[in-house]
Amino acid sequence: MAGNYSVQRETIYQALKSTKIHPSADWVYARCREKMPGIGLATVYRNLEALVEQGRAIKINVAQGKDRYDADISPHFHTVCPVCGKVSDCETDEDIVALLERECGKRGYQGWSLVFTDVCPDCRTNK
């Protein structure tokens, strides 16, 4: 099932690719409803998971909020704000990426994810 093409999955993928904000499934659902009014939230969740399984998207677990998704599957790091849950890309160090890739290869791991926690600029300003 995860490998099957569908118009819904492609619409969901295009919505995900159209942004750098690392959206939740709810955000993707709202964007997809603009083009496909009959799409259901469960369909969005199911297809986001399929995109992750296919390696076309990354799922970022946010402890205090809803999972976020990223269509940028290149090796990179994320920062999560513990106050508002905002997810951002952060500068990627090629030496760290190489180390993580080597360790995955040595240990037989399927992949890696590196998430930093830091209060975002908006939340710092609102303190």
**Domain ranges within the chain, ordered by starting residue:** 1-72, 74-127
pLDDT of res. 1: 47
CA distance 23 to 67: 8
pLDDT of res. 8: 94
Backbone angles phi, psi at 7, to 5 degrees: -60, -40
pLDDT of res. 3: 59
Of the candidates 22, 1, 13, 5, the residue with the CA atom closest to the CA atom of residue 113: 22
pLDDT of res. 84: 87
In a 3-state reduction of DSSP, which class is residue 79?
strand
What is the model's pTM?
Answer: 0.87
1-72 maps to which CATH number? 1.10.10.10
**Which class is 74-127 in CATH?**
alpha beta
Phi-psi region of 120 (alpha: psi -120 to 50; beta: other; left: phi over 0): beta
Tell me which residues of the chain have a pLDDT lower than 50.
1
Give the full edge-to-edge strand order of the sheet including 115-117: 87-90, 77-80, 115-117
